[in-house]
Amino acid sequence: MSDSTTTSGGLDIEKIRADFPALHQDIHGHPLVYLDNAATTQKPWAVIDAVRSFYENDCSNVHRGVHALSQRATVAFESSRTAIKAFLGARDSREIIFTRSTTEAINLVAHSFVRPRLKPGDEVLITEMEHHSNIVPWQLLCDEKDAVLRVAPMGDDGKLILEQFEEMISERTRIVSVVHVSNALGTVNPVEEIIRLARDKGVPVLIDGAQAVPHMKVDVSALDCDFYAFSSHKAYGPTGIGALYGKRQHLLEMTPYQSGGDMILSVTFDRTTFNEPPHRFEAGTPNIEGAIGLAKALQYIETIGIDTVQAHERSLLAHATEAILEVPGVRLIGAPQHRAGALSFVMEGIHPHDIGTILDQEGVAVRAGHHCAQPIMQHYHLSATVRASFGLYNRVDEIDALIKGLHSVREVFG
């Protein structure tokens, strides 16, 4: 086990923590232990300062002004696109579309790519471990088009059953949409294999990377996925901004999702011609400061090194998995070989909300609930779990605080 100042990954944890102002506060008389990173992460000064600096110095709209401020804003906004392109290993920054979030990115693919291709009886293939944002858009679309939503099952270990997934890819499948890392279980899906299996049958693949991008190297070119979605706020960036990577050949064929300003080339009352991708999919004034903050967040991760982050978080997860099982009555949900970011558990006879509330009294922030993944809860016949999720600034002694808190829970409930 490593001490609390440096870790096995060689990361200077105290230096990192100094970058995150929100971590340094007391909650109910205890130092904050923030273990709800899968919901959203705290933000480093680099991000906060970049957002503030935009408003202090460069505040202007993008893509429309000849004046200096607008040009500065446009350059900063478009540089963020380039930064995301590099971070995700995309070949062309025109393959990066700014969205509000992962949710909007998935909806965009559903509406602009899949909807025109979906005929009655066609199929959309997802898995049992999706977040609601990778279920509901497909359900609505399938209802509208008389298509079929198929769900590849997972085992009780929280792992996708790959053989069944493979069998479920049919000649009617129009898209496979799969979560990279489950937010409720922490399962890391074998996306390379999933993409290969779908590709062998000529089916395009969307990966929901909301819980992967902050924790591991993602290279969309190496993966050869068709689409990849993520949210800034789970990767130390601002809320209200995310991105969709999409292969250029697809984007060129896709019709707009939303319409209005900035996504057009010309408009008359008879006819509108659309702008090129990515602008075609970015109607209206975008979240300019969000994009700028997101680029800073990615730069922040890159400065530490995503492999260093991954090694650090792996050691935290390993410690947490071991320590938590020593608390009487605790049961971990799922036991995937590859886990990232999060651990879900329940305690015999105690409701997860009560556990979350008592932990909060000790300054420990976790999420208790269904984690917007109710089908996962249904799989385990649970209404809710407690989830502890980790970020690059968490320390081993924070896991110890969680464990201590769980012992208090046991005492309160006898």
Burial bucket for residue 260 (CB in 10 Å: 0-12, 13-18, 19+): exposed
State in angstroms the smallest separation of the CB of 367 from ligand 7TS: 6
Q: Which is nearer to ligand 7TS, 74 or 101 (CB)?
A: 101
Cα–Cα distance measured from residue 101 to residue 79, given in angstroms and rounded to the nearest whole number:
19
State in angstroms the smallest separation of the CB of 412 from ligand 7TS: 26
What element of type H or E holds 99?
Answer: strand 96-99
Residue of 343, 404, 355, 352 lying closest to 383 (CA atoms) = 352
Q: Which residue has the tokens 């900063």?
A: 76
Where do contacts with ligand 7TS occur on this chain (CB under 6 A)?
38-39, 101-103, 131, 133-134, 179, 183, 208, 210-211, 231, 367, 371-372
Cα–Cα distance measured from residue 348 to residue 332, given in angstroms and rounded to the nearest whole number:
11
Q: Which is nearer to ligand 7TS, 13 or 185 (CB)?
A: 185
Max CA pair span of the chain: 73
Q: Which is nearer to ligand 7TS, 179 or 406 (CB)?
A: 179
Question: What SS3 class is residue 36?
Answer: strand
Under 8 Å between Cβ of 33 and 42: no
Secondary structure (DSSP) of 295-324: HHHHHHHHHH-HHHHHHHHHHHHHHHHHHH
What element of type H or E holds 179?
Answer: strand 173-179
Q: Which is nearer to ligand 7TS, 13 or 241 (CB)?
A: 241
State in angstroms the smallest separation of the CB of 173 from ligand 7TS: 21
Cα–Cα distance measured from residue 72 to residue 253, given in angstroms and rounded to the nearest whole number:
31
Under 8 Å between Cβ of 46 and 19: yes
Q: Which is nearer to ligand 7TS, 215 or 371 (CB)?
A: 371
Q: How many CA atoms lie within 13 A of 306 on its CB side?
A: 17
State in angstroms the smallest separation of the CB of 137 from ligand 7TS: 11
Cα–Cα distance measured from residue 284 to residue 281, given in angstroms and rounded to the nearest whole number:
10
**DSSP 8-state symbol, 131:** -
Cα–Cα distance measured from residue 217 to residue 219, given in angstroms and rounded to the nearest whole number:
7
Report the Cα 115 to chain-centroid distance in Å.
24
State in angstroms the smallest separation of the CB of 263 from ligand 7TS: 21
Q: Which is nearer to ligand 7TS, 279 or 367 (CB)?
A: 367
Catalytic residue from among 59, 142, 225, 372: 372
State in angstroms the smallest separation of the CB of 69 from ligand 7TS: 30
Cα–Cα distance measured from residue 130 to residue 127, given in angstroms and rounded to the nearest whole number:
6
Whether residue 142 lies in the annotated active site: no
Q: Which is nearer to ligand 7TS, 11 or 244 (CB)?
A: 244
Question: What SS3 class is residue 267?
Answer: strand
State in angstroms the smallest separation of the CB of 172 from ligand 7TS: 25
Cα–Cα distance measured from residue 88 to residue 170, given in angstroms and rounded to the nearest whole number:
29
Q: Which is nearer to ligand 7TS, 83 or 368 (CB)?
A: 368
φ and ψ of 155, to 5 deg = -85, 175
State in angstroms the smallest separation of the CB of 251 from ligand 7TS: 20
Which amino acid, one-letter code, is at 75? V
| Residues assigned a catalytic role | 372
